Amino acid sequence: MNEHLRQKIADLARRCHDGARVAVLSGAGISAASGIPTFRGGSDDALWSRYRPEQLATPEAFERDPELVWRWYDWRRGLIADAAPNEAHHALVELATITDVRVITQNVDGYHQQAGSQDVIEYHGNIWTVRCTSCHFEDLDHRVPIPIPPRCPRCHELVRPAVVWFGEGIPTEAAAEAEKVAAACDILLVVGTAGAVYPAAGLVTVAGVNQATIAEFNLEPSAITQRADLYVPGSAAETLPLLLETPA
């Protein structure tokens, strides 16, 4: 890493030590170092690499073949249960001991909370929560494997993963809270997202319009990069911890 970039990261770290309000927008890339396949990077899994997430993470796919969609979620739940948050998640927990940090995540793996982040805004829901397709039953369900297709204990109708599928609206509370956090922050850390999915990616604009410094941590440039004030290349598991190096 060149000296100029190191200096820029040290400047950010110093601002955090001086009490800058930090918001985080994380995507699948922050969990990549834990071994969880990203959406774009796909996976080397023989079966699931044949599908694009946009084909499975939709109400239509679930309507058409709930068992197939549940097998995909069960496979992902298994990967998440067998792995753990990585140094990138832990760096954000440590940063929160230095200054105010609010995490907005597009991920459904629950790793930010597992690592210890508080008040995480789950913009696309959570893979460990299931919701009945018919009555108002909703509950955590950590069963791996889950009996497929899982049925509602109350009315025996199908339950679905309580995540936001393509074409579905963001939960109103999460949407409002995320907008507020992005608008109020001094620094927005954009970590491991291609910035292709809306309205999540629009939060970068909300922060920018409110004069926040946008710092992107990504393995490669993304749709966010040209809107960022700082782009830090590399794995977030290695680069985010640099924010914790006490500035000189």
| Residues in contact with ligand BV8 by the rule CB under 6 A | 27-29, 32-33, 38-41, 53-54, 57, 106, 108, 124, 163-169, 192-194, 196-198, 200, 217-220, 222, 235-237
Residue 4 to residue 245: CA distance in whole angstroms: 16
Residue 33 interaction partner, one of Zn ion, ligand BV8, none, beta carbon < 5-8 Å per kind:
ligand BV8
Angle at 53 between CA 50 and CA 58, to 5 degrees: 125
Identity of the residue, 14 or 156, whose beta carbon is nearer to Zn ion in the bound complex: 156
Minimum distance from CB of 198 to ligand BV8 (Å)?
4
Is residue 124 annotated as part of the catalytic site, yes or no?
yes
Residue 132 interaction partner, one of ligand BV8, Zn ion, none, beta carbon < 5-8 Å per kind:
Zn ion
CB-CB contact of 97 with 247 (8 Å): no
Among 93, 155, 158, 244, binds Zn ion (CB under 5 A): 155
CB-CB contact of 105 with 177 (8 Å): no
Minimum distance from CB of 177 to ligand BV8 (Å)?
16
Among 6, 142, 143, 154, binds Zn ion (CB under 5 A): 154
Minimum distance from CB of 65 to ligand BV8 (Å)?
15
Among 51, 75, 137, 166, binds Zn ion (CB under 5 A): 137
Which contacts of 5-8 are long-range, i.e. CB under 8 A and separated by 24 or more positions? 5/232, 6/242, 8/230
Can residue 152 be called a binding residue for Zn ion (CB under 5 A)? yes
Minimum distance from CB of 151 to Zn ion (Å)?
8
Residue 206 to residue 123: CA distance in whole angstroms: 15
